[in-house]
Structure formats: structure tokens, C-alpha cells
Amino acid sequence: MHNCLIVDKLHDSIFQLMENIGVQVDYQPEITRAEILAIIPKYTGIIIRSKTTIDQEFLEHAQLLEWVGRAGAGLDQLDVEALEKRKIQIVNAPDGNCDALAEHTLGLMLSVLNKIGLGDQQIRQGVWDREANRGYELGVMTVGIIGYGFMGKAVCKRLKSFGCRVIGYDKYLKNYTDEYIKEESLETLLGESDLISLHIPLTDETMGMVDRPFIDNCGRPFFLINTARGEIVNLNALNEGLSSGKVLGAGLDVLENEKISTWNEEEIKTMNLLQSFSQVIMTPHVGGWTFESYQKINRVLTDKIAHVIKN
């Protein structure tokens, strides 16, 4: 009998789904890392969302572990190299929340371009200023998509209906031009995009990728959308870009440090400046966080776990 420790809150459907594939579940969403390390030796599988990292210390305790399930897309909390060395299977669910994230990404694009946040704030304050809220049309723009995996492609499918030109850069894909996107170099994408949307994982390569040189290398003032990982965008560089006008606006679903209570003085200063720009809209990392994706992630995960167990 396979057994699995679940350390984050998941939709209740996970219990029946796991039972259907013959996996006994120990559901402990309130567990601490110390408690996880104490009991993980007896489990063959674990499902996490964001509670803890699966690193070398963790693996030293997990002698029976055969697979790790990530209830979402990103693998930045997993030491992938160490897991592969131990021949522990990694299961994630980018196809479980890509539709949710794509819709949220389009929502941020339209909100930033049409100044929806500013208009709402002004009306609540008794201000009716149509000219200050004049927007831009997405359909006439060149949109640059960085990363053409599940998320990037889901966004591009939705962009097609707007009629905009969509170009893409993905370091690890080749010859992926299709009806939704045209493959280009990063240099071309930066030079020609009116709006840039990020759909890449957080890795050593992408950490701080959107920095001062990145913004300087953009050929024209542009809008930035980040629904990937906050650490990909250097917020000080973004603030400079917003101040200079090189960045026309930004829609951010993720931040460098999402634990607000831990912000130090420098981070507070940075965030205060960012919040002062009316052309910036922020949401609390909910891009893939819909009622529908909450259940769909479970279905995708259990299907993949069943395949791992079978093979």
C-alpha cells in the first residue's frame, strides 16, 4: 500500500481521488517543517504546495520517498537535481491551473492598459476624470511572451482573439512558431514589444532577469505583466523604469517577497514607491487560484501519481 503525506491545504476531492488510485493519505495541512522531518521516513510520497522545501536536509530523512507531488506549476521549492539523483519522481500540475492563470493574465493586461484600478479609486473619491483614464487597445500592440510552456501557450490562445501581434522567446524550445505565436530572439522581443508578459519558472538563470539592463534594452516604452515568480523582476529596477517612463505600467501577481510581515526597511521603502504609481496593479499571487483550478489540480496530480505508481 502506498502512503502519502499532504502538508498543505488542498480541495477535499483529493481524498477520494487518492483512494481511487490506491494511495493512503495522511492529511496534515497545519504541520510544521520540524514535524514533517520527524515523520517523513515512513511515507512513499508527499504532496506540497508552499509549506516547505524539498531539499537535501529533507531527503536525508525521507528514506522511503518515491515521489513528490507539487500542487501547482513551479518547482522552485524542489531541489530537482537531488531528487533526480535519488531517482525520486517529480509530479507537478501546470496543466491544472494554466487556464486560470491565463485568464488572470489577460485581466491584468486589460486592467493596466485601461487604467481600471485608477478609475475605480478616483470614482470612490468623488473624482470623475475621463481624460486621465483614457486607455490603450491591446489589439494594436506587439505582445512579447517570455516562456512558451503551459502558461505561455494558454495566454497566447486567448490573445489570438484580440488580433494583436504575438512574439515569443523561450530559451529551451526551438521551432515552436504556430497559429498563436511567432518565435523570435530575446533581442528582437525586447526591441519590438509594447507589452511583455513573463511565463518562466524561477531558476538561477531567471532570478532577477528583469533588471536595469533588461529594461534599458527594450526598444520602446512598454507595459510589464508578471504572473510567474516575483523574484524574476527586480523591483528597484522596475521603480526606476516607471519613474523614467520606460515602463508605462505593470500588472504584478507576484512579488520578490510575498511575506509582507517580514519586509525590512529597504523592502518597505521599495514597496511604498511601487504603490505610489497609479499605473501599477497588484494581486496577491492568485493567478492560478480559482475555485475551478483548486479541484482541477487535484485531478491532474492524481492522474500523474497513478502513472508513476503503475510504472
Backbone dihedral region for residue 28 (phi beyond 0: left; psi -120 to 50: alpha; all else: beta): beta
Give, for 196, the enclosing helix (H) or strand (E). Answer: strand 195-198
Residue 30, all three cell numbers = 497545519
> 181-201 burial, b for 16+ CB within 10 Å, e for fewer?
bebbeeeebbebbbbbbbbbb
d(CA 120, CA 252): 18
Residue 187 has pLDDT above 90, yes or no: yes
Per-residue model confidence as pLDDT tens digits over 142-168:
999 999 999 999 999 999 999 999 999
Please name the residues in contact with 13: beta carbons below 8 A apart, sequence gap of 6 or more: 295, 298, 299
Q: Considering the candidates 70, 229, 231, 256, report the single residue annotated as catalytic.
A: 229
- The pTM assigned to this predicted structure is 0.94
> 38-68 burial, b for 16+ CB within 10 Å, e for fewer?
eebeebbbbbbbebbebeeebbeebeebbbb
Q: What's the average model confidence in pLDDT over 286-310?
A: 96
- Phi then psi for residue 260, to 5 deg, are -55, -35
Q: Which CATH architecture has domain 136-278?
A: 3-Layer(aba) Sandwich (3.40)
Residue 258 is a catalytic residue: yes
Map residue 188 onto helix, strand or coil. helix
Domain boundaries, given as residue ranges, for the chain: 2-94+291-310, 136-278
Q: What is the DSSP string of 103-149?
A: HHHHHHHHHHHTTHHHHHHHHHTT---TGGG----GGGSEEEEE--S
Residue 109 has pLDDT above 80, yes or no: yes
d(CA 58, CA 48): 13
234 alpha carbon, distance to own chain's centre: 16
Residue 308 has pLDDT above 90, yes or no: yes
- Phi then psi for residue 206, to 5 deg, are -95, -10
CATH of domain 2-94+291-310: 3.40.50.720
The per-residue pLDDT for 68 is 98
Q: At what angle do helices 94-113 and 291-310 cross, to 10 degrees?
A: 150
d(CA 236, CA 211): 8
d(CA 191, CA 197): 14
Contact between 113 and 138 under an 8 Å Cβ cutoff? The reply is yes
Dihedral sign of CA atoms 215, 220, 221, 222 in order: negative
Q: Considering the candidates 57, 258, 292, 307, report the single residue annotated as catalytic.
A: 258
Q: What is the DSSP string of 241-272?
A: HHHHTSEEEEEES--S---GGG--HHHHHHHH
Percent of the chain with pLDDT over 70: 100
Per-residue model confidence as pLDDT tens digits over 28-78:
999 999 999 999 999 999 999 999 999 999 999 999 999 999 999 999 999
d(CA 14, CA 28): 13
Q: What's the average model confidence in pLDDT over 121-139?
A: 98
Q: Considering the candidates 2, 158, 285, 299, report the single residue annotated as catalytic.
A: 285
Unique residue bearing C-alpha cell 501577481:
253
Residue 1 has pLDDT above 80, yes or no: no
Give, for 238, the enclosing helix (H) or strand (E). Answer: helix 235-244
pLDDT grade for 311, boundaries at 50, 70 and 90: confident
DSSP state of 225: E
Percent of the chain with pLDDT over 90: 98
Residue 285 is a catalytic residue: yes
d(CA 279, CA 234): 17
The per-residue pLDDT for 276 is 97
CA angle 148, 151, 152 (to 5 degrees): 35
Residue 11 is a catalytic residue: no
Tell me if 2-94+291-310 shares its fold with 136-278: yes
The per-residue pLDDT for 205 is 95
Residue 235 has pLDDT above 90, yes or no: yes
